[in-house]
Structure 1
Amino acid sequence: MKISRICCIGAGYVGGPTMSVIAQQCPHITVTVVDVNEKRIAAWNDPDLSRLPVYEPGLDEVVA
């Protein structure tokens, strides 16, 4: 079985950074992250990376 899509429920301190790294390291996999907090999802999608909802050193480089 070949995995081509992943969905993560929760874009917080664990889900967001983890899925960011998976998306970076596995470009052949479509990564979708969902969260009940619409503002958090909007922050992840904001082109201004200083507004990421989670701070992790180097995360802005992974998301870019």
Structure 2
Amino acid sequence: MSTSKKAKHTVDRLAGRVKENLGEATGNERLRNEGKVDQVKARIKMSGERLKDAVRGR
């Protein structure tokens, strides 16, 4: 996995965590759920990149 993609997925995951925490603090369910979704998306993308690396033998 390229370093830039890894960094982007990590930033996306952290942004999702911030959204989730902000939603928790303000009582905004939509924002909290959106943050959870963003975190899951980032984890799936990272897993896909790791799988590609494994198939390519890196």
Q: Same fold (TM over 0.5)?
A: no
* Structure richer in strand, relative to its length: 1
TM-score normalized with structure 1 length:
0.28
More helix, by proportion: 2
TM-score by length of 2: 0.30
Larger radius of gyration: 2
